[in-house]
Every structure is written in C-alpha cells, then in structure tokens.
C-alpha cells in the first residue's frame, strides 16, 4: 500500500488545528490532526516529511515512526513540532491500516478491554484552547443556539448548576481551572488567602449542589511554582478532587514528586510529556498517580500504546487527553478501548456540539456519560466531503 499523496488542511474558524490526510493506493485515505503552529507544521510536513514518505509502504507504521524519530526528533531535539507532525501522520497511517484490514483500530491493538469508556467533560467553550485567547476562548464566533455550551463561563459563575446539567446528560466527571486567573495575575508565584478562597469556591458550589455524585478534576495548566501548588493542594483536599492535573509543569519530576508527597489528592501528569522516554522518569520516581497522554502530541497511536503499557507495569491507570481536534479524540477512544488500564477519555461537549460536529462524517457515540466502541474500519470517521469547498479552507498537497 504505497503512499501516493499527503495533504494538510486548515480552517479559517479553527486556524490553530491542522488536519493531515495521507492518501494511499486504491483510493484509501487516512486522517489525523494536531494542534497549534499550523503554518510551521505545514511547512515541515511538506518540505521535509513528504519527500521521504511518498512511495513508501503505508503499512510499515513502526518502521516509519522509528525513522522520523531516530533521525529527526531525537537527533536534533525536535520534541515539539516534529513530534506533533509525526503524531498526526502516525494516526493517519493507523487509519489506513484499519481500512486495509477491514477492522477498527482498537481491534488491531488487541480488541476491546471493555464495552464502554467513561468520559469527563472539560468545561470549556467552543473556542477554548485557541492560542492567544488565554483560558477563556470567547464562544461568540461559533455559537449556534442552545447546543453551543460555554461551560467555562458556567463553572466560573455557577459551577453547581453546571454540575447538575452534566449529570442530567449522564456525565459524572468534570474538569475545571478556576485558579488560572490568579496564576496569570501573580505569575504563578503567589496566591492570597482571599484569592485561594475565591478560586476554590466553584468546587464548594459543586459539592453543595450534587455532593459526591460528580467527580471534580482540578486543572492547573502548569502555571504554579511548587510552594504555591502545595498550598493549593492542601486547601483543595476538603473538596475531594479526583486528581490535581499539571499544577506544576511535569518537566521537573523531582518537584512533581514533592507535590505528590504533600497531598492526599492523586496527582496526574501529563499531556505535556513527549514519548515514552519522558514518561519513564515520571514513573521511575513515583511522581504521579495517574498518567495522561495526548496521542497527537506524544507520538501518535504507535507511541501512546507503549506509554500506556509502560504505565501498566507500574500498576498505574492512564487517561486520554483531547482539547485539540476530532481525530485526536477518535485516536484516544481507540486507545482507551484497547488498553486495560485506561480509565477516562476527555471530551469537550462544546466542541462535540459545534465544530467537531461540522468537520467529520461520524461522531463519537456518547451515551449516559460513556463512549461506545467506534464503528467502521480504521479510525471510523473522515472529513466531511464538502469541507474542502468551504470559504477559508487552505489545502496544500504533496504528490508522488
């Protein structure tokens, strides 16, 4: 199955995301995506990767991954842009493999370990995560009636009511980041008692409204220094969060271990780590209780399954990250079904009801707070046929 072409696609409405389409013989097409610096990614993919991929066997996924990691990413310190590009290509190649085999990707990874996968809702609006928009991301440009939920504003203003809304849909876990505004104001080095009280009030509101029926994940986005993160963790303990996520950046493993030792709240880390080689010291130094990975940042499906297996050797659970793109989400779903230690798949319901819905042919099947196994060969979805004809779409192609 020779690779005959590679396309990159960006949309004017979500320019921070880049779709990658790998074309094979007999009209088979595989899809992936990855997040931010889309112009740089496009240049790297077409100027450097495409000439070395065109004409190669699309089914030699491990061989392709190793070639680009060993000769590029690892050799020149390229664990950012290069790994994100390789991750997107890797997902697309797994999509092709599944279509050739006539099986969903999770079946190629060993089959389903469970009948359904729990989700938690990351409480952002439709434009959450947009570079330059801070952690708010105004939803104005993408709102479409009641379906466009701005859960970020909701958790900042009435987190209890938001929790009730999620529970009504069967979603029993939610991630919020009410302390970010103080981290940005204080550069992560200090928080006053008043700010700490205000920042933790949404957690108190959730507990008052729904008790322990809702799991709360407290996100820190890596903004805090260690002493302040310890102070926050101890103050948050009374609200029983399911985990503390990236209260400090996970590149300092010893500091992360000290944070873990300071609190009874489980510590999660981290979608910011790239490849199994960065996750290994996290596990060896016992610095985390739960492992989070993003399949289109850390190395695609090929590397993500190895990280999940590595975590399993330490008896640790994994959860899949997605605040980025629909094929990232689908890749995570296949990984979550096929790994015995996967406990959650992240979703953003505002994305599912706006621009994810408007991009792909088949949506993830979400029922009573759980995802059902993907249907169809490969990743189980594709870009909508009319997407390339819409205004503001940029397509760049490399052909054999």
User: How confident is the model over 248-259, as a mean pLDDT?
Assistant: 96
pLDDT at 131: 62
Cβ atoms of 335 and 342 closer than 8 Å: yes
pLDDT tens track for 89-109: 999 999 999 999 999 999 999
User: How confident is the model over 97-123, as a mean pLDDT?
Assistant: 98
pLDDT at 149: 77
Cβ atoms of 328 and 322 closer than 8 Å: yes
Q: SS3 breakdown of the chain: % helix, strand, coil, rounded to 5?
A: 45, 20, 35
pLDDT at 140: 37
Q: Quickly list DSSP for 99-144.
A: HHHTSBHHHHTT--SSS-EEEEEE---TTTT-TTSTTT---GGG-B
pLDDT tens track for 145-194: 344 579 999 999 999 999 999 999 999 999 999 999 999 999 999 999 99
Q: For residues 142 and 122, give the distance between their C-alpha atoms in angstroms, rounded to a whole number.
A: 18
pLDDT confidence bin for 74, thresholds 50/70/90: confident
Q: Quickly list DSSP for 346-357.
A: EE-HHHHTTTTT
pLDDT tens track for 315-367: 999 999 998 999 999 999 999 999 999 999 999 999 999 999 999 999 999 99
Q: For residues 42 and 84, give the distance between their C-alpha atoms in angstroms, rounded to a whole number.
A: 11
Q: Is the pLDDT of residue 8 over 60?
A: yes
Q: Which of 259, 248, 275, 214 is nearest to 79 (CA)?
A: 275
pLDDT tens track for 255-309: 999 999 999 999 999 999 999 999 999 999 999 999 999 999 999 999 999 999 9
Q: For residues 61 and 90, give the distance between their C-alpha atoms in angstroms, rounded to a whole number.
A: 7
Q: Which of 211, 221, 227, 217 is nearest to 265 (CA)?
A: 217
Global pTM reads: 0.95
Q: For residues 7 and 397, give the distance between their C-alpha atoms in angstroms, rounded to a whole number.
A: 4
User: How confident is the model over 194-200, as a mean pLDDT?
Assistant: 98
For 31, the enclosing helix (H) or strand (E) is strand 29-35
pLDDT tens track for 359-389: 999 999 999 999 999 999 999 999 999 999 9
User: How confident is the model over 19-42, as a mean pLDDT?
Assistant: 96
pLDDT at 148: 55
Q: Which of 322, 276, 307, 351 is nearest to 33 (CA)?
A: 322
Q: For residues 253 and 255, give the distance between their C-alpha atoms in angstroms, rounded to a whole number.
A: 5
Cβ atoms of 246 and 256 closer than 8 Å: no
pLDDT at 128: 84
pLDDT confidence bin for 72, thresholds 50/70/90: confident
pLDDT confidence bin for 23, thresholds 50/70/90: very high
pLDDT confidence bin for 142, thresholds 50/70/90: very low
pLDDT confidence bin for 13, thresholds 50/70/90: confident
Give me 334's structure tokens: 């296949």
Task: Please report, in angstroms and rounded to a whole number, the separation of the first and last CA atoms in the chain.
Answer: 13
Segment among 28-37, 42-51, 138-147, 199-208 with least mean pLDDT: 138-147
Q: Which domains does the chain have, with CATH numbers?
A: 3-102+383-399 (3.30.390.10), 107-371 (3.20.20.120)
Q: For residues 372 and 367, give the distance between their C-alpha atoms in angstroms, rounded to a whole number.
A: 7
pLDDT at 132: 54
pLDDT at 134: 45
pLDDT > 90: percent of the chain? 89
């Amino acid at each position: 199955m020779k690779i005959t072409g590679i396309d990159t696609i960006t949309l004017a409405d979500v320019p921070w995301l880049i779709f990658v389409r790998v074309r094979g013989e007999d009209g088979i097409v595989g899809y992936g995506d990855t997040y931010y610096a889309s112009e740089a990614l496009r240049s790297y993919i077409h100027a450097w990767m495409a000439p070395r991929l065109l004409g190669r066997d699309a089914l030699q996924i491990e061989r392709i991954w190793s070639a680009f990691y060993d000769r590029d990413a690892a050799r020149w310190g390229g664990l950012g842009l290069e790994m994100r590009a390789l991750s997107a290509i890797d997902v697309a190649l797994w999509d092709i493999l599944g279509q050739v085999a006539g099986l969903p990707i999770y079946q190629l990874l060993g089959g389903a370990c469970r009948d359904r996968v729990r989700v938690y809702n990351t409480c952002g609006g439709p434009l959450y995560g947009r570079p330059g928009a801070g952690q708010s991301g105004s939803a104005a440009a993408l709102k479409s009636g009641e379906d466009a939920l701005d859960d970020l504003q909701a958790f900042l203003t009435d987190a209890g009511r938001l929790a009730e809304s999620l529970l009504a849909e069967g979603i029993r876990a939610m991630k919020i980041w009410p302390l970010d505004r103080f981290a940005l104001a204080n550069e992560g080095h200090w928080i006053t008692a008043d700010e700490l009280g205000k920042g933790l009030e949404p957690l108190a509101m959730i507990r008052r409204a729904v008790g322990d029926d809702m799991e709360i994940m407290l996100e820190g986005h890596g903004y805090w220094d260690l002493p302040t993160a310890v102070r926050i963790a101890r103050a948050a303990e009374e609200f029983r969060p399911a985990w503390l996520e990236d209260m400090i950046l996970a590149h300092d493993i010893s500091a992360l271990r000290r944070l873990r030792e300071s609190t009874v709240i489980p510590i999660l880390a981290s979608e910011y780590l790239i490849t199994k080689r960065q996750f290994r010291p996290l596990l060896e130094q016992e610095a985390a209780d739960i492992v989070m990975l993003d399949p289109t940042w850390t190395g695609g499906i090929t590397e993500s399954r190895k990280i999940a297996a590595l975590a399993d050797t330490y008896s640790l659970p994994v959860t899949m990250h997605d605040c980025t793109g629909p094929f990232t989400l689908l890749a995570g779903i296949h990984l979550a079904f096929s790994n015995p230690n996967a406990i959650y798949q992240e979703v953003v319901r505002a994305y599912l009801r706006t621009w994810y819905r408007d991009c792909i042919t088949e949506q993830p099947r979400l029922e009573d707070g759980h995802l059902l196994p993907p249907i169809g060969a490969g990743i189980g979805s594709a870009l909508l046929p009319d997407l390339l004809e819409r205004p503001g779409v940029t397509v760049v192609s490399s052909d054999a």
